[in-house]
Structure 1
């Protein structure tokens, strides 16, 4: 497709020693004849081993192995050629010495590394450049006459076959560090190499299968979830082991589904789970009740199941499970004909998922998120909501049939995917689910504690095959005569020799066997001895036709999966249809179908590389300039098809920019690419933050900032915007210390840059985080200034945040009517900005003002219900926020059962989503409900637990609220006056000055304590202060509570007539709010004092609910 490419090759430099003496003894014509013989001699030695002579320079020669075609044993070929050159020159030197009296010798340097190549390779001439050429030349210069020095990379490739001696590292010109070197003296006999085709049967693995069977039996028996991680080196056979076990489990009636984590792609962090959803649901049908029913019942216990015959090859040395054999395990790389993988979700995946999940609105919201994930790879909601939905689905799927979920290549997984699996292992309960993860040991380098600390987690190591088992695998795979397209090229003796070489070089790695046998089967030369898997893959790729290689290169750029249309978009005009090339590449076992069922639309078939090793080798073989251009073209292509696919577009532009920087200073085109990449990643990060996916937002915004900082020309305004969003994302993720530090610096930088918008945005954030002595006054000042700035720039998001801040400041002063007006303006701006996260927060704040403000409880309940029904669909966290004040309103009306249900759902939601820091706040609402119901002990228990947790979390404001509530409940129950005095004594008056509702609460409690002690003057003083504070609010319940405290205190002082009057005023205010429980309590209190007037009424036990 392109003249320039990158290859890993071996370079040989050879120089004659003694040429000066020879020129002194010989006539010029005679010398020319000798040199031509010398050139021919070296060329013959080099070309006999597959080398290409690039150039002769005087009496030196440079040759390359791996151009025009890479061989898997290029380094070993170069070593053999070098030894041949030494022997040939030695022999010819003796003849020359007899003829002329002069003797010549050569010295040789060999090094392996990546080079860039271009030129007319078909003419036998290639142009290469790179560090490998320079190092080979320096090695040759330091080699003594008659010796060969090889570099570290070459030595690593041929060490198993070569006789070498390490020499002192060389200090060479142009290298900052000494260069390691070895002297090559010979090649051992019987050099070994091996390979084999993919899809080979599994050999042995009986012990590992037995452990997997035991884990599955335990899952079925206990109806529990178990996490098993298979660890092993690349190619050792861990994926094949997982497939074999999954096939057994499926035959035994389990529902099996799989996912694969690619190392590169533009999908979201949970996108690998999308095919798992499709596969799993393809094996489930539903009954009239909406509960999942297995399409094949698991009618035997996992333990004690009937066994068939044994086969070391088919079942890994252990007994096989009996059952139908027509279905295959639905794990990556295996496509069954009908089975579980053969059923797409259909035209309405949400309905399909909702049918399986059943339940109420929360489950329907989960179905919506999962349907998006299955179709697009992105759920469209927060990470916490998504993992809860996955938990719900796994539990539902395993309701009547064990579920085996296989996740391959976990070492490539995004942090969020690891977190989701960890969440499932912890929270899926009461259902038989086996999470089978497959990973390289690299996973433990990034996550050393993966799976640790769990009683339901097991790690299994898959070791290399023993020699006998490896030989059995080679014998089953290396059957060239079985393929009608392959002409047998070896006698039986040669075949046996090749098998032994394969066994020796495979090191027990089944992938090595598969790849190398596959290459040997395609080659006319059975003597290929590849030194590594990468060399094997490169050798296979270099034998492709140019059109096939071009298609592979396009595929390597697109990502994990691709369609024919994706490939066509990257091919040059006139390249023709790609389908034929794709079919050829599938036949050559380089590509495979990505889906297990026919695509819904013609041309929608998706493909992927059979091996990531193949994809990586194809990609690394392209020049960086070509890669950059192709990433840019694919970004443009994706922008035309999905303009809002900011993450995909940004990722490809980001890669293009990085590649261009590798090639030199960024020109105008590269700078434009980098700027566009930063813009798209910033947009993707902002969108992720808006839907609450904060960890994904941090990742995207950090990448966007790195791109902005890497641009040669400063982008101060763009950088400020990205830094601000990143600081907000870190704050939402709980990294408050780093976020505050970043915001402080941003404030300074924004002022210096004259960016009033960023300055206002940051100042508002800091006012919340560092309010200072003035408390909410600082927030109010910052918010008012922000309104002026954002109004001028018509920044709807900024206005939504500013008006929310103003509304919350009014709430802190218990002016809820005013707060609601400001919050309504904030809601309007959030809708205009499309800011879902802000809108949810605003609605939660509105619900609080509806609860505490002047709106009658029935009206407030109706509006809260509207929030839940119309505005918060799909956002469980936001619904939990609105449900808490709604439950308090229900408790006012005496509906404690429904209030408890709402709050229990809120606790469950917060726990499911991992927001455990918010659970203590819900406990405060639960205590309010229990106090209203007269269940004092339950309320006290909840408040004590909340205070302990809030102290641990360092939430001083809510801790003070819990302290006031606990003091009031203890006082209402009676018998704990000393503790009540200690609790309220720790609340400073100065902290209450700006919080009138809190002040009314504390002074009311102190008045009742003083009255109980007979201290009338102190009681009167606190009652006056309580009523004065309450009158500064528009909160009916606060005013009613102050009047009720007045009634309690006056009664304790023996002033019963005044107490009855105060109780009457409390009843009036409770009634105006619609607080039936409070009104009834006030009536009962007056009746107990002997009043038989209109205050009389039923004795409804309960507290004020304040």
Structure 2
């Protein structure tokens, strides 16, 4: 397929060079998503939607017409969208515009149409921003999926973040008759079957069957204006990432007499995503003795003013964040400073977002703080590191979006000049912290760092050898760091052996487990700590274990092992990342089982 010709055919030939420079072939084109297009420089929301629609059209015509033939689709579906119905876990969002009937009486039909277009566009933009899929427009209601057509390991978290932004975005839409629009959102997570239920023109590949969409719609009805309400399963998946209010168990028509409801007030104040998901009380740490010894030895060098970098890599769920947390607890008794940059896939194209988030958290900014309060808090924070803050204050305040009277001098600078003085201020802040006490600087999930933050880390690495700083960077194997030098070490986390895996399972259970249960857990988790923890919790909740003092006894036979809800999205995301042939092989393997004869 000639991608350049295809782009010209759909009227977007201006992106030919960007696609060519990034090696976007016809095969790669099929798998592009909204965030990929943003990375290619497609900043226009309208152009992204047009491209996604055109890519979706390829999926519909590829089996019967030449690639590039046109077709229309109301919503954007990647080419990888399944053509057959499949069973999978999905997070479903239902958005409703409050007071739409009254609005239709107040506004002229043309004005109402303009308002509805703005409302739909705002919802669609936020769903797209977090990798969701708008499935249907139902009058003033909007149905969206997270975790389809491509699974996401954090689908529930994405949905809740999108919902909070949708409520805020709706509130920003005003008319002369209406001060602002008000939306309400319901979110539920569960197993569904997704696929077409119709024929011919009525065929829609994104129709879902199951209780989950009904529950999401009912939760939306139970939510008040400007509120987001989520189900118990969704709450379980997002952990402590958000500030939640338990609304108790309420009767929900068509669902049940007692359904747990949770209201989302906003983002929580966890130090990191790991802490938000797992809380502050963790299971006992098992294994990784050599890795901890290496980190402690490097920390000893740091205390002798010999800066060190440790690159910690491993597959998802292997325990990178848990190792960082355990090491932090081990050195907490030392007098030290700490900085935590937490990268996120949502902000991989937002310059210095991890840095901004860390400074706002460390300065204890609150959303309701006026600029004067934020300015004073920033002064206090920088004053702990710098003897003279006059040069750094206006620069970092400008980075954080805090208005001051000293920023007028920055307005005439070029982007390159602003970046240079921002980097200088941030590097001085880091060095100032290190001169007070040894500094532990953690960068989590470096595979999602934006280019500007990566460049800043390069600068830090260049200076670190002569500073009492330990830079500890975690990342997945697909990320290829360029940092090197005598002060740089690698730790590659491998899977746990069966003895260590059994020890983790019993640590999670809190007591000795029957050997039959241990064997099942070890056999099905392949030494991945996250899988071991979640499967052990699922086993514990099956009500087949009885407390016998210092151990558990098994009641009857052990039921068949099923995938815990907390692992469904992560495992499906891995499957969806495979090419079709490998995915088919995995499906066949799932039927055959792990052991079979010729």
Normalising by the residue count of structure 2, what TM-score does the alignment of the two structures yield? 0.41
| Larger fraction in helix | 1
| Larger fraction in strand | 2
Higher relative CO (Cα under 8 Å, sequence separation at least 6) belongs to 2
